[in-house]
Amino acid sequence: MNIRPKRLRGLMSALVIGTATAGLASTASAQDFDAVLAAPDDIPLNLAYARQEVADGNLSTAASTLERILIQDPNRHSDRLFYAVVLYRLGDFQGARAELQRLEGANLSPLERAEADRYMRLVTVKASDRALSGRVTVGAVYEEDAAGAYFTAFDILGAPPKEDGVSSELSLAINGRAGLGSGSAWEVYGSALAYDRTRQSGAGVDFQRFEAEGGIGHRSRLTSFRVGAFARQIRLEGDPQLTEVGARAVGSWRVTNATTLSARAEAVSQNFDEPAIEAVSAIIGGDRDGERYSVGVSLAHRITARTTLSGGLDYEIKTASYDPFGYAGPRLWLSLDQRFRRGVYLLGSGSVRRIDYDQADPFFLLGAKREDTRSNARLAAGAPLSAFTARGATGDVREDIALEGAVSYASRQSGSPLADFEGWGAEVRLIWRFGARN
């Protein structure tokens, strides 16, 4: 099966359009605003309107409607909890905490009380000048062409056969921040990631990635930016393959309550550990070591309360002491985040990347100039463990642990004398998210 980038982009577009259309179709029964305006004291009508506005992603309108309901009847405790959650999603953590404090001692059901306590913990951390969050994953991965995704092969005597493999997957990610001074919008931040994929059967490849980053940032109601230094190491089959040290700047601007524009830039020094290339570096006049520079812009738009579409364009330049290893090229990516009831979710993502190498390679490619087109796509579906209970919610740690399954596709088209790569994969994993969810 040979799926070219053009066809892959078509499949991705169909997925995005189909899912977004389904989300928009569910809003067809929205309450008419004129009817609400004509009956401001009709609480059931106003409450139905608020719920529909939340479903449509109009959180500010829903908050105003819920506030009007609570002015008329302050003892509607379930609706006040609903109002607090809406304020939390709007980023008004102080307002959400005030509403949750009013629910202390109120007559709530056990599940509502658990949810109120949970959101109180979340808003307390969000409003604090210190926060710590993280994610732990445990899973298994199947790869149709386990080695082809990691190693470039030659096609001189025919493309090498595909060999599948199964690997275990473990990861730990931690993020933290601390404010600089009381009430200051400035903060220091840090993050760390450790990822391990270990072969269990077949032709799987042992792969590890370690990252650490730290710097300074600024946050306001509509904007944020961070500038910091980071280090990354990638290991293959137990040996270092790439070490990077560099600087990164990221900024975002919330254009509306539903739309966020972001930009990023980074500059990196790369050090490759490749014995075969280093053995001939004196002959060819260099190796893959050099610098990497990239810039990117992205846009995230919440189509409805449960549907978010994001996309971006990046451009990367790499230098190398052996000029044919240097390259430049763009990357276009798209992602979809679709949420359903009970916390069930669907995540789709895909990217197409074009890489034009700087010069023809007389040593490794027999005078050919390498040009790559690389495509990736992933579709994941998951649900918190609480979704499998009778109520669909628990108000405890089961809402923070998700069971996720995914399928993925990757291709690399390089042209002769290099072999093209195309492979499918699948994975299943448990994900535990803890702390403040930044």
Reduced DSSP (H G I as helix, E B as strand, rest coil) percent helix, strand, coil of the chain, to 5: 25, 45, 25
Residue 286: pLDDT above 80?
Answer: yes
Q: Which fold has domain 5-15+129-435?
A: Porin (2.40.160)
CA distance 436 to 122: 6
Which residue would you say has higher pLDDT here, 415 or 7?
415
How far apart are the two ends of the chain, measured CA to CA in Å?
41
Residue 331 has pLDDT above 70, yes or no: yes
Report how many helices (DSSP H) and strands (DSSP E) the chain contains, helices first.
8, 14
Share of the chain above pLDDT 70, in %: 88
CATH code for the part of the protein at 31-127: 1.25.40.10
Please tell me the distance from the alpha carbon of residue 356 to that of residue 418, in angstroms, as a whole number: 15
Checking if the pLDDT of 35 tops 70, the result is no
Give the single-character DSSP code of 53.
H
pLDDT at position 37, please?
A: 62
- Is residue 104 scored above 50 in pLDDT? yes
The predicted pLDDT at position 30 comes to 44
Rounded mean pLDDT of 303-332? 95
Quickly state the pLDDT bin for 14 (edges 50, 70, 90): very low
The CA-atom distances, in angstroms, between 319 and each of 43, 229, 284, 423 are 65, 20, 16, 29
pTM, two decimals, is: 0.78
Average pLDDT over residues 93-121: 85
pLDDT of residue 36 exceeding 70: no
What is the structure's pLDDT at 29? 37
Q: Using alpha carbons, select from 311, 280, 275, 277 the residue that is nearest to residue 296.
A: 311
* pLDDT (mean) for 282-293: 95
Read off the pLDDT band of 436 (50, 70, 90): low
pLDDT of residue 13: 42
d(CA 197, CA 238): 11
Distance CA 236, CA 130 (A): 36
Whether the pLDDT of residue 7 is over 70: the answer is: no
* pLDDT confidence tier of residue 164, bands split at 50, 70 and 90: very high
What is the per-residue pLDDT across 227-281, written as a single tens digit (0 to 9) for each?
999 999 999 988 999 999 999 999 999 998 789 999 999 999 999 999 989 999 9
70-74, 422-426, 434-438: range with highest mean pLDDT: 422-426
Residue 62: how many other CB atoms lie within 10 Å: 24
> How far apart (Å, rounded) are the C-alpha atoms in residues 76 and 263?
43
Note the pLDDT tens digit of each residue in 165-208: 999 999 999 999 998 876 678 999 999 999 999 999 998 889 99
**Considering only 23-27, 34-38, 172-176, 419-423, which range has the smallest mean pLDDT?**
23-27
State residue 399 phi and psi, 5-degree precision: -75, -15
Delimit the domains of the chain by residue range.
Answer: 5-15+129-435, 31-127
Rounded mean pLDDT, 301-315: 92
Contact between 419 and 155 under an 8 Å Cβ cutoff? The reply is yes
73 or 309, higher pLDDT: 309
State pLDDT tens for residues 333-368: 999 999 998 889 999 999 999 999 999 999 999 899
Using the predicted structure, report yes or no on whether residue 40 has a pLDDT greater than 70: no
**Which sign does the torsion angle of CA 161, 162, 165, 167 carry?**
positive
Q: Average pLDDT in the 43-53 region?
A: 82
Q: What is the pLDDT of residues 291-302, one digit of tens each?
A: 999 999 999 998
| DSSP labels, 369-405 | --EEEEEEEEEEEEEEGGGGSSSS--SSGGGTEEEEE
Q: Determine the pLDDT at residue 16.
A: 39
Place of tokens 């709007």: 90
Q: How confident is the model at residue 396 (pLDDT cuts 50, 70, 90)?
A: confident
